[in-house]
Chains A and B, each alone.
Chain A
Amino acid sequence: MLNKISISVVLLMACAAHAELVGLDNGELLDVTGQGGADLSWTLSLNHRYANDLSIKNISDQQGVYYTYDCASDVQCRFAFSPNNHADAAGNQRWLVFKQIQGTIQVDKFSLAGSTIINKDMMPQTALKLSFFDDNPLKIRNLGFSSLSVETDDASSKGYLKDIKYNQYNAYTLDAQGTKVNNNIDVPAFDKGAEKGFMGLNVHGNLHMSGDLKIFSYNCAGTGTSRC
């Protein structure tokens, strides 16, 4: 758990650090590294067979692939998000619900090392160097969600636990006398049995990256044009 947290934190920091950088040019970045470091491999899987079964050793093998959706009940594989002040007139909270959220990502090799850079004050500073290699792409497998829906709490249930599936709809035909005859008709096969929602997403492919990402500390002193 801690690993996941720390890695996601490092990734978050990567974004944060890039947002704040000022006044550095490539010429100032030295590439002086020690010999040590570590090669890392990482697989992260959510709601796939690989995620549920620890006896599976890799995301695919000769018997098949293990990055397919696996959930005890569709209602349990959801992520819901409710920003402040999103409620109906009665004060019931509204949720943006990502249904059947899933995905597996894998990098077979990326490496971590220390390196020394010269910072904007012309002083040496240590940076965390992450290297990605073209022959070890980020494998993205079935990453996404099947439907996105806005659900509202009610007296009996939280919005994100509502289990509504497309099955039949009420349609009418006109009989010979011209009066309406209501019928429950199956929805088209494409949507039948699917969870209610308006959009889905599925990302599948390889993302090739090559190069180094250096992450280092930056103190926002509040001077000049720095925004903090």
Chain B
Amino acid sequence: MKKIIKLNMLTACVLMAQQSFALQQLTDHSLSDVTGQDGISITHEVSKINVDQVNWVDYTDTGSMKLGMHNVEVKGVNNSTIKSTLDFDVGTTDRGTGVKIQASISPFQATIEKLMLLCGATTCTTAEQNLGSLSLSTTSPLKFYLQTTHGLFNRDEKAHLDFQLQNASIGYGLNGKNLTLKDFNFNFSADGYMYLDSNEGIVMTTKSRDGNTDHIVNLDRVADSSDVDSSRVNAKNPGVNIDLRYGSDPNNQKNVIRMGASGGVTNAKIFFNANQAGLKDFNTVNRTGTDLTETTRSASGYGFAGAGGLHFGVSAEFTREGNPLLGQNVAPTTLEIGHTGHGSYAIEFSNLSPLAIRNSTNATNLNTKNAYIDFGDIYINTAQVKSLNFIINENVKKILNASSTELTYDMVPVDKGQNVALIAIRGMDFQAIARKARFISDNSIAEITSSSGEWGIGIPIFNLNANLALFAKNYTYKGVTSSGLGYNLAMSTEGYGIDKKTGTPSTTSIIVVDGAKGVYNEEVNYYAGLRNIDSYLKSDGVIGFEDEGIYIKADNLLFAAKAEIAIGQLPGSLYNCTTATGGTNCDKKVVPIDNFAKKDDVLSSIAFKLEGQGELLIVPGLNSANATPDTNYLSLKGNFKFKDLTGSTDRGSFLSIINEDVKAATGPSESSVNLNKLQGHIGFESRVQMKQDTVVLDNQVKFNYLATATSQGKPFTAEMAMSPAGNMQKIADLAITGGAMRSTLGITPR
């Protein structure tokens, strides 16, 4: 009986508590407080928002394709209401009439049950496709503050913007499992210009119209509110923090990878419009010519794009120490990448430089330009696509043995076309080489106090073009059929060229850099690795979320690339020798600015084409209170089946080691050693372990992974051939009947 009374009391209390939150009628007295002279202040409170459908309609192509969020629910955290405030004020500034807008939304949870791709016309192939679910939740108020000096949109007058999305969680779900951005931060404070333009659309930029004045966007680090070690004081995460977690249990997700950026960036720009004219345009570089500047060519097959699509771009330059814009309070840009979760380690990169250290061979003509990222032109369309064209460069064309640099690929079914959401990227550049890197530990364990090494890594990307079509697709894994996210991806990178926008030498490379001071007391900039990577990746298949990890299946995979294995100094560095040790040629001699276009540093080139089908499982690391890099690491498991040969002249998948010499009499000549006609069914497993001072890459290859004690599977076979003077000459056949090979490589930078 007593229990029932208590329960009734509790119910009454709960009800009263809720009533106390309800809005009350305003009295005249309180109204006078609100209607003062300082603008408008709106406070709003809501307990729950339900939205059945929000659709974005693309009126071109079939005339009725929609990308929609269905069954949206937004509610407060821990049964409290969502309180939002908006202060709006207009006042006189020394530049004119300024606007001040301040908004704040208390913590909330939003779930979008279904992300739908809809096609309503009779010509549509698929009427409805479910692409998964989305969720967003915040733990601290989402804040927005804008102050302008003259009007709301003005190209010539400065505005200030603060945006604070801190420690949020954004999840994408399939089959009850989620890929989550944990502790997601998008936290910045910026000065710049906000304007509307008939060509560019809505634009926010830090640079003035004449380009002479620039401002800083400060990606200020954010206090970490979860799992912080007791020894840490004021533990923070990067201002832009992308911490990927995976799993079905939201309270115990597994660890995938973490990336972050913080500090000040300049020359930042965001634009947003609907102009689809550039979707068909691809930049390429003709490397056989003398002018290595990008040229633009238009591909066919993009007639579906019209006024309905989105077009936007984001770009920014990374600052280095000594940048006068940084001032006292803003730190130079640092980038982070590594493993995540309790007890994990990552690498922080700083002293970010563009490829060329000087502008000319004059030792005093230092390049003061910044390293930068430019996501290029990003286009989002919904369309019914039969086939798409993609433009590649001459190097890739040669590897693919293609008849043209314009490739065509079909969607399924090709006769009617496929209903897809198409994300296209044109001309993405990431020209940043870190001359300094250091290991950092996750906030869940003690900080690494030992001094940092003098080394860095460069993974610059030049002219990345991509088409990513997304659709709903079912797949079968271990006998169980589930719904997944179908994809069809084409992607390419340019090895080397002069960027059209910036006019600077640019490259796609994976290099390690020695950032220590050399004999001239500046960074010596030795680099070693794969440089000038021309690549093309084409894959279609499905992405599914399984208990073990993220499952990616490629029904048709084609990966072709050519790269140079090189050792040298970055263009524009000073040769690390003096007159005393190396003679007069060493006197402050500058490495040629077009060093990456020359062959002087190249030990050898590699080229390969892999064609077939494969499966990949991304297995995240386990999280636990006593996790170490030995228990919490990222691993990749997969298998690959080479495509069958179509005849005796089919070279199939191959790997080449190429030597290019410039002969005095006849000019450049190429000779190569090749493994052609690769056949078989290969299995692999890779583990990436980020430790306190070492990265361990543990890789296992099974040459015939379906073979068992009783079944012989399909042995790995290849044809060895040489091409001493252009003609391919077979030497021998070779076969590996099976077995396993494992390589464990530990890298400890100094």
* Chain A interface residues (CB < 8 Å from chain B): 1, 3-7, 9-10, 12-13, 16-17, 30, 32-47, 50-52, 54, 57, 71-73, 75-84, 93, 95, 101, 111-116, 118, 122-128, 158, 160-161, 215-217, 219-223, 228
Contacts and interface: CB of A to CB of B under 8 A. Distances in A.
A115 B576 CA distance: 8
A220 B584 CA distance: 25
B102 interface: no
B515 to A, nearest CB: 6
Contacts of A217: 566-567, 599-603
Interface stretch (B120-128, B159-167, B484-492, B661-669): B661-669
Interface of B: 453-456, 512-519, 524, 526-528, 530, 565-569, 575-577, 581-583, 585-586, 589, 599-604, 606, 630, 655, 657, 659, 661-666, 684-687, 697-701, 704, 707-710, 712-713, 715, 730-750
A160 to B, nearest CB: 5
Given A30-B581, A42-B745, A126-B569, A35 B735 contact: no
Contacts of A33: 576
A4 B743 contact: yes
Contact of B739 (A3, A76, A83): A76
B508 to A, nearest CB: 15
Given A124-B589, A222-B666, A37 B749 contact: yes
Contact of A52 (B567, B576, B599, B740): B740
Contact of A38 (B582, B604, B661, B748): B748
Contacts of B527: 114
B599 A122 contact: no
Contacts of A12: 604, 657
Contacts of A5: 606, 655
Contacts of B456: 36
A68 to B, nearest CB: 14
Nearest to A108: B746
A40 B567 contact: no
Given A81-B734, A122-B583, A126-B567, 11 more contacts: A17-B603, A34-B454, A40-B745, A41-B746, A45-B743, A52-B740, A71-B738, A73-B712, A76-B704, A80-B737, A124-B582
B715 A160 contact: yes
9 contacts: A30-B582, A40-B747, A72-B707, A73-B707, A78-B735, A118-B586, A124-B582, A216-B603, A222-B665
A47 B737 CA distance: 12
6 A-B pairs with least C-beta separation: A114-B526, A76-B738, A36-B514, A35-B516, A222-B663, A41-B746
A157 to B, nearest CB: 9
Nearest to A57: B630
Contact of B661 (A54, A114, A161, A228): A228
A160 B740 CA distance: 17
A36 B740 contact: no
Majority SS at the chain A contact face: mixed
Max chain B CB contacts within 10 Å: which of A32, A41, A221? A32
Contacts of B589: 124
B579 to A, nearest CB: 11
A47 B741 CA distance: 6
Contacts of A34: 454, 514, 516-518, 524, 526, 576
B160 to A, nearest CB: 40
Q: Of A10, A17, A46, A223, which is in contact with the most chain B CB atoms at under 10 Å from its CB?
A: A46
Per DSSP, chain B at the interface is strand
A54 B737 contact: no
Contacts of B518: 32, 34
Contacts of B736: 78-80
A115 B527 CA distance: 10
Contact of B737 (A50, A75, A221): A75
Contacts of B519: 32
Contact of B565 (A9, A45, A71, A116): A9
B606 A9 contact: yes
Nearest to A101: B739
Given A38-B749, A45-B741, A32 B577 contact: yes
A11 to B, nearest CB: 11
A36 B581 contact: no
B699 A4 contact: yes
Given A30-B581, A76-B712, A215-B567, A36 B734 contact: no
Given A46-B740, A122-B583, A126-B569, A54 B733 contact: no
A45 B454 CA distance: 32
A84 B740 contact: no
B750 A222 contact: no
B750 A39 contact: yes
A36 B739 contact: no
B455 A82 contact: no
Contact of B582 (A37, A116, A128): A116
A32 B581 contact: yes
Contact of A37 (B599, B700, B737, B750): B750
Contacts of A51: 700, 739-742
A221 B601 contact: no
B266 to A, nearest CB: 28
Nearest to A81: B734
A156 to B, nearest CB: 12
A220 to B, nearest CB: 5
B749 A13 contact: no
A222 B600 contact: no
Contacts of A54: 685, 687, 698, 700, 742
Contacts of A83: 731-732
A35 B750 contact: yes
A157 B587 CA distance: 67
A132 to B, nearest CB: 16
A161 B700 CA distance: 23
Nearest to B710: A73
A79 B599 contact: no
B665 A72 contact: no
A137 B364 CA distance: 46
A5 B742 CA distance: 12
A49 to B, nearest CB: 10
B659 A16 contact: yes
A92 B253 CA distance: 57
Given A80-B735, A116-B575, A221 B663 contact: yes
Contacts of A7: 743, 745
Contact of A32 (B576, B602, B686, B748): B576
A118 B453 contact: no
B517 A219 contact: no
B664 A42 contact: no
Given A83-B732, A217-B601, A221-B664, A77 B738 contact: yes
Contacts of B700: 51, 54
Nearest to A17: B603
A46 B743 CA distance: 9
B692 to A, nearest CB: 14
Contacts of B659: 16
